[in-house]
A and B are shown apart, each in its own frame.
Chain A
Amino acid sequence: MSKKLGVYVCEGCGIGTCMDTQKLVEIASSENEVSVVRTSPAFCLEDSKVIQEDIERDGVDGVVIAACSPRVNTDVFRSDSASVERVNIREQVAWCQPPNHEETQSLADDYLRVGIVRAQKTSPPSPYTDSHERRILVIGGGSAGLAAAASAGRAGFEVLLVEEREQLGGYAARLHLCYPQRPPYHELASIDIETSIQEAASLPNVRMLVGAEIVELSGQPGHYDVTIRTGAGDEQATVGAIVVATGWVPGDPARHEVYGLGVYPDVVTTMEVEEMAQQRAIRRPSDGGPVKRVAFVVCDTGADDTHLPYGGSVWSLVALKQALYVRDLCPDSIVYLFYGDMQTPGQHEYFYKRVQDDPQILFTCGEIRNVRKDDEGLIVFEADQTVVGGQMEIAVDLLVLSADMIPTTFDFPSPQLLNLQYQKGKELPTNKFGFADSNFICFPYETERTGIYAAGAVRQSMDLAASAQDGTGAALKAIQCIERSSEGEAVHPRVHDLSYPEFFMQKCTSCGRCSQECPFSALEVDDNNHPVLEPNRCRRCGICMGACPVQIISFNDYSVDMLSSMINAVEIPEDDEDKPRILIFACENDAYPALDMAGIARSQYPACVRVIPVRCLGSVNSVLVADAVSRGFDGVALLGCKAGEDYQCHFIHGSELLDARMDNVRETLGRLALESERVKFMEIEITDSHRIPGLLEEFVDTIKQVGPNPFKGF
């Protein structure tokens, strides 16, 4: 179907004084399918009505707005009846290039051509709207799970809560007191989990199953089939989204054998102290004798690998809390508190100060070693690297170590929390610490399984209060997921995206790479190893599109063909060494905004770059890089998020996969007898705008040294 495009060239915000907009009008007018071309001193003001009129009266169904960045004025230019393409000639041309320069003009010209091609190649998506289940499954009945159930229940959603134990409340029922959560943050408070249980139980739409476990879970956001096993037999249910709040388990004592745990009965963990405190009698486990001197070791100290490398503020605060238990229950006792980092964030600082005010609680950072039992039966150890100075020896009745908080998602002994019927695994993918993995900075509740949200200690070590807040947060994400999925929209980060990948199956070679590379297990494969899409699991990143070796995967508004045409729309000057052309694929999430911000800061960077935004670097098919090089681009830079262990990729593995695909690209370059320096992957964070000019100049210099692409003009 042929399109009717309107092209609108804005002259405001310094665009008009920086370039010849008339030239842009001429370019637009000469393009196919363009029916109207207009200019305005500011399309975002009164003249936005002109665009609206063109759409409504003249049937313009594709709008190309050459003005500011697509990241601003989205509300002004949104249209329900026409596709809108934004050509960024403000932040990425007028604000970062010298005015009225030949190269500036050709940059703007190229961007306009690229934008028009993009508009020509876009067709409206037809959303998938078959999932309407609105019930939320909460796994785990502790602090986080109860809060999630109550929050979702109050919001009017049906909730099914499944707790493995016979009793609700989780660890809250096994702790003596909690550290203060309200001003003045001085006194320990009792734990009232009963109210939370009652609150959730009193809601008519919340159903709670105890002594139950998930034996099978399949489907996708908006429609999961779950099989729950209880004492009374198996039960089937359908749910729309899932909150995993299964918490933590204590670690293996053998890990702390070097500190005498498991060797001497008087070396215990904080969990044992909670038990003793609940019975209001802290005594020596070895002989039941009174406790006069206690040492707490916040187990983030020490260079040895017996410590888990995390624990956050919980370990510090629990040690502070239990120091007060000892001072309260053991008259005239002395408490030594050793730490690596005392972490008492926010208002907890007041609590730290309050514990410090007790003259018989002594703090120091430091390492302890050589734990042994002396003749009198006391636990004796050496402390080094303390702030007191020198080496000291301390004798105590009780040595308390932080209990490891091992997230239940960690694969030991072997979690059976979800039993997902996904080809990519039965449980949630975890990071190296065993926590449910996600882009921790941007989407903390997310897991790598769309529609399944982590809350509480499966996400990071946290206390009861934080877990309860977390439960509410995850419940809200579950609600959002249900609402968006029912409309056929992506959940995040591409909220409102209605497109999803489509497959030209006749050409599928059954390689299965799309399914393997999809970070979210949205692509299952059938018996013929052909991809089968679970649309609501899809986050529309396009990694499958970038992976497919035969390029049969595309979205209605995003495809290899479209990107290839956009690359082809750039004019490559021939036989001019001073006018190299560098193609940049920039990740829309971080790199593209960083480029915008460089413009906002009025940083100047080379005019020979041509930026094409992509959903994720993972969606860049290696054929596109080869295309660009054979078209005559002198270099290709790929600007994306940090890859690897501390990744910041919004789609988990996108930039990592791109990095791997570079090998293919280098092979291609070699086949064309080209230098491998012509293609470069650069990690850019959203805060890196100040680095952009330097990085680009450096790359342009490299390319100039390598020399012009010999394929120019072919």
Chain B
Amino acid sequence: MPETSVIKPDFEFKSQILGRGAHDLTSCYQCGTCSIVCPISNPENPFPRKEMVWVQWGLTDLAMSNSSIWACHDCAICTAYCPREAQPALVMAALREYSIEHYAVPRVMGRMLGEAKFLPILFAIPALIFGAVLAGIGNLTALPDGPVVFSKFMPIVFVEVIFMAAIGLSMTGAVAGGMRYWRAMNLRMVGNRGPVRLLPTLWTILRHRKFRRCADDLPGTRESPRTPFARTHLLAFYGFLGLVVTTTSVGIGIYAFGYLTPWPIWHPVKILGNLSGVAVIIALLIFGYRRITAKTKAGESTYSDWLFLDILLLTTLTGFLAQGLRLVGVGGAIAYPTYFVHLMFVFFLLVYIPYSKFAHIVYRTVAMLYDAATENRESVPPPAQAA
């Protein structure tokens, strides 16, 4: 028997969630239809029904220390069936968004990625860093002559050092955030959890097994506002993975074999990179198109949704643009600034991983690992909650 807890609602949390597109949550009358139609919910841990009432009651600890919000892959079938149009899918999305900020280390980064007004500062950081490098080597005042070679404009070693350092920082942030989340879930857990099952979880992720269940196992006759989306995500996922492999290979090529850039366009690594980029762009366009067209059914997308899509898309597009400009030979005056912008986007994307929507890489994986280790044990109200 769980011990009795004193309830103290946190209305600041409630208004935060309502403000993140989940304003229809108030109409929820706890019928539980959402949990019934959800292809991955279960009777022991009926989400999104529980999340709905936790937010209504302002129970931050409960809502934030649950793996369900990341078990959800946003098929939005709950929203399609909700008899009160309370939009449970948007509540889950708002909770995910909030939890990224909630667990962000340092906290301030979470807040900065969450609000549009901080966007100039976020871009100013890479601009200043790369600008300082350019100023240092004199490329800020006079662009290098001759055919366009980006390493002449921005020596690889600087790029590598800056990114290594920055990614190191962001990785630290990601690990810290993930661990806070893990600990929060553990506090709430009744009974013991089993061993962490890393490989099976990774295998699940690589195959998008759970994602596909969300897309394929939808009940009833109503259509999810978002399907089919697992395959699109798979395309983006492997596209992104391809880009990571490409970048890593180039690094290895340069430092291990002295194989200087630019590499020819027909080089297998280069082909892999370009194909991956195309895959990412296609997937992102589909995602974006759906966000626009499904607006009435699935609800408005938030700033953080669009920020993530746009940054990823612009990163890839500026990459292609820089490569294209180089190959076409338009001259450094156009190609070098484009490359500079590309670097800023790459920095933005990778360094802010734990704080933007990209952090789903971290938190969803943590949640899946946790679920695999505990097999959906029931959450209980917190022993005490600060008002």
Binding site for B on A (CB under 8 A): 334, 342, 352-353, 356-360, 362-365, 382, 387-395
Contacts and interface: CB of A to CB of B under 8 A. Distances in A.
Contact of A388 (B6, B18, B54, B84): B54
A393 B30 contact: no
A387 B32 CA distance: 10
Contacts of A360: 9, 11
B116 to A, nearest CB: 24
B379 interface: yes
Given A391-B2, A392-B7, A393-B7, A356 B57 contact: no
B248 interface: no
B135 interface: no
A389 B381 contact: yes
A353 B27 contact: yes
- 8 closest Cβ pairs, A-B complex: A390-B381, A391-B4, A387-B30, A390-B380, A392-B7, A357-B26, A356-B26, A393-B6
Interface string B103-131: 00000000000000000000000000000
A342 B57 contact: no
Contact of A359 (B1, B26, B379): B26
19 contacts: A356-B27, A357-B26, A359-B11, A360-B11, A364-B53, A387-B53, A388-B53, A388-B54, A389-B53, A389-B62, A389-B381, A390-B2, A390-B5, A391-B381, A392-B5, A393-B4, A393-B5, A393-B7, A394-B7
Interface in B1-37: 1-7, 9, 11, 14-15, 18, 26-30
Contacts of B3: 391
Contact of B4 (A357, A359, A382, A388): A382
A362 B55 CA distance: 10
B364 interface: no
Q: A-side binding surface: helix, strand, loop or mixed? A: mixed
B96 interface: no
Interface centre among B6, B26, B84 (most CB of A within 10 A): B26
Nearest to B84: A353
A395 B379 contact: no
Contacts of B378: 389
Interface in B87-109: none
A56 B4 CA distance: 87
A389 B50 contact: yes
Contact of B57 (A353, A358, A362, A365): A362
Contacts of A394: 6-7
Contacts of A388: 7, 53-54, 57, 59, 381
B315 interface: no
Interface centre among A334, A364, A382, A392 (most CB of B within 10 A): A392
B314 to A, nearest CB: 37
The number of chain B residues touching the other chain, given as a range, is: 20 to 34
A382 B381 CA distance: 13
Given A387-B53, A388-B381, A390-B381, A363 B9 contact: no
B323 interface: no
A362 B56 contact: yes
Interface of B: 1-7, 9, 11, 14-15, 18, 26-30, 49-50, 53-54, 56-59, 62, 84, 378-381
Interface centre among A356, A382, A390 (most CB of B within 10 A): A390
A360 B3 CA distance: 25
A389 B29 contact: no
A48 to B, nearest CB: 51
Given A359-B18, A388-B57, A364 B30 contact: yes
B360 to A, nearest CB: 26
A363 B11 contact: no
B14 A359 contact: yes
Contacts of A390: 2, 4-5, 380-381
A395 B59 CA distance: 16
Contacts of A357: 26-27
Contacts of B5: 390-393
Contacts of A364: 30, 53, 57
A264 to B, nearest CB: 19
Contacts of A356: 26-29
A389 B47 CA distance: 12
Interface centre among B2, B7, B84, B381 (most CB of A within 10 A): B7
Contacts of B57: 362, 364, 388
A428 B6 CA distance: 50
B387 to A, nearest CB: 10
A389 B379 contact: yes
Contacts of A363: 29-30, 56
Contacts of B53: 364, 387-389
A382 B380 CA distance: 15
A393 B29 CA distance: 22
Contacts of B58: 362
Contact of B9 (A334, A353, A393, A395): A334
Given A363-B29, A390-B5, 7 more contacts: A359-B18, A359-B26, A362-B56, A387-B50, A388-B57, A389-B380, A393-B5
Contacts of A359: 11, 14-15, 18, 26
Contacts of A334: 9
Contacts of B29: 342, 352, 356, 363
A573 B50 CA distance: 70
Contacts of A358: 26
A660 to B, nearest CB: 45
Contacts of B9: 334, 360, 362
A356 B53 CA distance: 12
A393 B382 CA distance: 12
A610 B93 CA distance: 68
Contacts of B380: 389-390
Contacts of B7: 388, 392-394
B56 to A, nearest CB: 6
A390 B50 CA distance: 12
Contacts of A342: 29
A358 B3 CA distance: 30
A365 B28 CA distance: 13
A299 to B, nearest CB: 19
A359 B23 CA distance: 10
Nearest to B59: A388
A392 B27 contact: no
A364 B28 CA distance: 11
B381 A392 contact: yes
A392 B4 contact: yes
A382 B379 CA distance: 19
Contacts of B14: 359
Contacts of B30: 363-365, 387
Contacts of A387: 30, 49-50, 53
Contacts of A382: 4
Nearest to B382: A390
Contacts of B26: 353, 356-359
Interface centre among B59, B84, B381 (most CB of A within 10 A): B381
Nearest to A362: B57
Contacts of B56: 362-363
Interface centre among B2, B15, B50, B56 (most CB of A within 10 A): B56
B6 A392 contact: yes
Contacts of B84: 353
A164 to B, nearest CB: 41
A668 to B, nearest CB: 56
B374 to A, nearest CB: 17
A461 B59 CA distance: 36
Contacts of A362: 9, 56-58
A414 B64 CA distance: 58
A359 B16 CA distance: 12
